[in-house]
């Protein structure tokens, strides 16, 4: 989770983001970005008991996914199978004026499985909303500090110094990250 938050703030504070849109709501800064893609991957590890599958993409990168109960036909998938993966990731960071705001975290998950008549597959969407409170703004050094849940205070460097002038100590920073993933078996193991 902290990795997602760090990446979100990196996008807002340090580097430009592909396909990003910046908007100003009132006078508070915000940014959003979306990335979508499709690829084929190989199943390289499969643990039916823990319902985890590790996939290797075409460039050799690997990712382990916890499938949950939506993957009802996991017994039909084997190591070495090819799957089609489609994904959409959306990230938004918004600064809001707030009085007495408190940092927090919320997660929502939705899943679905493929029909029995087709190839095994599943889809899942997870949305994480994290909030932090602006603790300090240092215009001279172009930095700001945010207080996250559990009293975790971190310092960041602003990409656009003008945004620091639009924010105030006590403002609420809302980071929303949504990841949707669909995985479908492309070929059944021999004999099925």
Reported as a single tens digit per residue, the pLDDT across 116-136 is 888 888 889 999 999 999 999
Within 11-81, strands assigned E span 20-25, 28-47, 52-56, 62-66
Q: Is residue 100 part of a domain?
A: yes
Banded pLDDT at 2 (limits 50, 70, 90)? very low
Cβ-defined contacts of 69-73 (< 8 Å, 24+): 69/111, 70/111, 70/112, 70/113, 70/122, 70/123, 70/124, 71/113, 71/120, 71/122, 72/113, 73/113, 73/114, 73/116, 73/120
Q: Is residue 25 part of a domain?
A: yes
Banded pLDDT at 8 (limits 50, 70, 90)? very low
For residue 121, what are its two tokens? 């597959």
pLDDT tens digit sequence for 147-172: 999 889 999 999 889 999 999 999 99
Q: Is residue 70 part of a domain?
A: no
Q: Is residue 53 part of a domain?
A: no
Q: What is the mean pLDDT of residues 55-80?
A: 87
Domain count, the chain: 1
End-to-end CA distance of the chain: 39
Q: Is residue 54 part of a domain?
A: no
| Structural domain boundaries, residue 102 | 2-37+86-185
pLDDT at 61 over 90: yes
Q: Is residue 91 part of a domain?
A: yes
Report the C-alpha gap between 48 and 183 in whole angstroms: 16
Q: What is the mean pLDDT of residues 58-72?
A: 85
Q: Is residue 71 part of a domain?
A: no
Q: Is residue 44 part of a domain?
A: no
pTM of the model: 0.72
Q: For residue 126, how far is the Cα from the chain centroid?
A: 8
pLDDT tens digit sequence for 85-95: 999 999 999 99
Banded pLDDT at 188 (limits 50, 70, 90)? low
Q: Within a 10 A sphere around the Cβ of 7, how many other Cβ atoms? A: 13
pLDDT at 51 over 70: yes
């Amino acid at each position: 989770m902290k990795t997602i938050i760090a990446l979100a703030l990196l996008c807002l504070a340090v580097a430009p983001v592909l396909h990003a849109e910046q908007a100003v709501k009132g006078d508070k800064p915000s940014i959003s970005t979306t990335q979508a893609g499709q690829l084929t991957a190989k199943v390289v590890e499969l643990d039916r008991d823990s319902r985890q599958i590790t996939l290797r993409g075409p460039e050799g990168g690997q990712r382990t996914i916890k499938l949950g109960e939506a993957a009802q036909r996991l017994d039909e998938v084997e190591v070495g199978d090819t799957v089609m993966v489609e994904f959409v990731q959306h990230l938004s960071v918004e600064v809001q004026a707030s009085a007495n705001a408190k940092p927090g975290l919320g997660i929502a998950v939705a899943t679905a499985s493929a029909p029995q008549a087709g190839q095994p597959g599943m889809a899942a969407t997870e949305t994480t909303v994290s909030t932090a409170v602006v603790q300090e703004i240092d215009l001279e050094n172009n930095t700001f500090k945010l207080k996250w849940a559990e009293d975790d205070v971190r310092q960041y460097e602003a990409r656009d110094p003008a945004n620091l002038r639009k924010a105030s100590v006590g403002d609420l920073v809302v980071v929303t990250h949504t990841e949707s993933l669909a995985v479908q078996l492309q070929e059944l193991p021999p004999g099925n």
